[in-house]
Amino acid sequence: MTVPLIPRETLFGNPERLSPQLSPDGRRLAYVAPHEGVLNVWVSTLGTEDQRVVTRDRKRGIRSCFWALDGSRILYMQDADGDENWHLWSAEPDTGVIRDMTPYLGAQAHLVALDPERPSEALVALNLRDARAHDVYRIDLESGATALVETNPGDVVGWLADARMEVRAATVATPDGGFALRVRDASDSEWRTIVTWGPDDEGQAHAFSRDGQEIYLSSNLGTDTKELRALDLASGGERTLASHPEVDVDDILEHPRGHAVRAARFALDRAEWRAVDPSVAVDLERLSDPARGDFAVVSMDLDDRQWVVLYSADRAPASYYLYRRDTGDIEYLFSARPALEEATLAEMRPVRVPARDGLVLHSYLTIPPWCEPRGLPLVLNVHGGPWARDTWGYDPEAQWLANRGYACLQVNYRGSAGFGKRFLHAGDREWGAKMHDDLIDAVEWAVREGIADRSRVAIYGGSYGGYAALVGAAFTPDVFACAVDIVGPSSLRTLIASIPPYWEPLRRMFYHRIGNPETEPEFLDERSPLHRAADIRCPLLIAQGANDPRVKQQESEQIVEAIRSRGGEVEYMVFEDEGHGFARPENRLRFYTAAERFLAARLGGRVEE
C-alpha cells in the first residue's frame, strides 16, 4: 500500500476554523479563522452565510475567543511575540471597535469571572502593582474603567468569584510547596483557610454554588485520585460527586450561567463523562459516539438550549457540531482541517508499558498505516510539563511522524498528571533519573515487542520533553541515533533561577518536586544535561523562541556552545518572534521542515521536498 505524503502545510499550517463560541442569545457564532494568512476572529449568524472578520491581527494570530455576556462584544487574550504578558482585548462585531482592555506594558492579565447578572463587566487578575502577584480588578467593558477590588498579599496563585461577582476564594501557595484554599463569607469578611493540600496532595477550586454556600473542587485528600467534590463552607465537610479509581477528574461541565457543576470527565485510555446532575444524563448519552471520537462541550448559549460540541478522534481532524437539547439534533458545523478528511491517517493505540520497578505507564503508539509494527524506526515523542499527560485523539505530530514512516511512542512517564498522586509524585526529584528510566524502559519495550529497530531510535520533545531529549543524548548516548529539543532547559539550576516573576509563589513547589538550588546545587547539576555535554555523541536539533519567559534562550545557548566547543554536531534554530513554542504558521513550517530532514537523515524516513 502506498500512502501519499501529507503536506506539512496541511498538518501544521493554519487551521481553516476553530474555537467556535455561541453568543449568549444563541443566534451567532464566533470562531477563529485565517484572514490574510493570520488567525483572526470571525462572526456568523447561525443558519446564514454572513461570515465576516471582526479583528485585524497581522502578526501572531488569535487562538481562541469568548463572548462578553451582553452579547455586544467578543473578548480574547493576546501576548506580544510569545512573551506571555497576556492582554484582554475586546472586539465589537457591530461597530468594528477593537480595544485593549488591559493596556499595561509588561503586565499579564487572566480572566477571573464574567457573570450574566453584570454582563458588561469582567473581573481580571493583573500583576500591574507587583510583577510577582496578580491583584483583581473590575473592568467596565463599555467605558474601559478599571478599579482595584482585591490586593494579593503575595501568596495567591488563583482567585474565584461567587454568583454575585464577589471575590470570595483564593488558592494560595504554602511554604512547604503545597497549596491551601482561603474563603470568606462576603467581600468585607475576614479570610479563613478551609482546605490545605500538602506538597504531596493536589486540589483545585472550580466554582461556587449558586447560593454561595458550597464550593465545587477537585481534590485527592484521603484518596489517590482527584475526585469532584462539593465543600460546605460552614462545616468544612465534603461530599464526593464523581470519582474514578485509576485517574483524576480532568474536566467538568458547568451550567452556562455558572455555579452548578453537571458532569465530570475522566480519561484512562479514552475519555468518558459521568453525570452529576441527572438532567444532563440523556445529553451525555446522545453525544457519546465512539465513531466520531471523544467529545467535549466547548460552548453553550445562556438559556442552555444549544451546545457546541468538539469531537476528537485519532484518525480525523477536530470537528465541531451544534447540539440542540430540546430535539436531540446534532448538526455538523465544520472541521478544523478539512483537507485532512481525505488523508490516510494512522491509528493511535493505547498501550501499557511496564517500568522496571513495576509501575504501569499508560502510553500511546501510532504506526504508519501501510505497514505492520515490525522493525520500524521509532520516535519517542516526550510530552512537556512534566505535570501534564498525553491523551488519545488527533495529534498532528503523531500523524506527521507516522506518515513519514516512523513509529511514534508517547509515554505517560512517572510525574505525568492525571493518574493519581502516587504516580505524579513518583516523579518528584526524579528529573533525569527514574523519569528518564521510564522512557528508556519504553524504548526497550518497543524493541522487545519487535516494533522498533534498536539502531534507529530518536528522542523528541518540547519543554520538559526537550529537556528529556537532551538527557537522552547526554545520559544514555548509546540508545538514541539523534535527538530533537524544542525549548528545553539544559540546566535545572539556571531554569529555576530564571522563572518568571509571576511564578515566584510557586518556587517552593519547584524546590519540592525538582530540587533546591540554594541547598543542593550539585544534585541539580547531576540531573542537568549541560554538565554531561561531553558525553553527547548523537546529532542534535535544538529550536528556541527568543522571547520564551519560562525556558530562557540561555538554556539553549549554553548547551549549544558546550556541544560545539567539543566538535559535536548540533543544528540550532532561534525564532526571534516566538516564546515557549511556535505560534506563527511560517515558523512552525520552518521548524518542521528542518526536523523532517533531520530525522530522515538519521532514521531513514520519508521527506516532503
Q: How many residues are recorded in the chain?
A: 609
DSSP SS3 for 472: helix
Domain locations along the chain: 367-603
In 302-332, which positions are buried (b, 16+ CB within 10 angstroms) versus exposed (e)? bebebbbbbbbbbbbbbbbbbbebeeeebee
Mean pLDDT value across residues 385-407: 98
Q: So what's the pLDDT on residue 1? A: 56
- Side-chain half-sphere exposure of 100, counting CA atoms within 13 A: 15
Is-catalytic flag, 548?
yes
Please state the CATH superfamily assignment of the domain spanning residues 367-603 in this structure: Alpha/Beta hydrolase fold, catalytic domain (3.40.50.1820)
259: left (phi over 0), alpha (psi -120 to 50) or beta: left
Could you say which of 363, 463, 528, 556 is catalytic?
463
Flag whether pLDDT at 538 surpasses 70.
Answer: yes
Q: So what's the pLDDT on residue 609? A: 87
Q: Give percent of the chain with pLDDT exceeding 90.
A: 98
Q: So what's the pLDDT on residue 258? A: 86
For the stretch 346-364, pLDDT in tens is 999 999 999 999 999 999 9
Flag whether pLDDT at 514 surpasses 90.
Answer: yes
Q: Give percent of the chain with pLDDT exceeding 70.
A: 100
Is-catalytic flag, 436?
no
Is-catalytic flag, 134?
no
Could you say which of 135, 283, 395, 548 is catalytic?
548
Q: Residue 343 — very low, low, confident or very high, per pLDDT cuts 50/70/90?
A: very high
Flag whether pLDDT at 461 surpasses 90.
Answer: yes
Q: Residue 49 — very low, low, confident or very high, per pLDDT cuts 50/70/90?
A: confident
Which are the contacts of 216, defined by CB distance < 8 A and separation ≥ 6? Answer: 205, 206, 207, 208, 209, 228, 229, 230, 231, 241, 252, 261
Mean pLDDT value across residues 77-93: 96
Q: pTM here?
A: 0.96
Mean pLDDT value across residues 106-129: 96
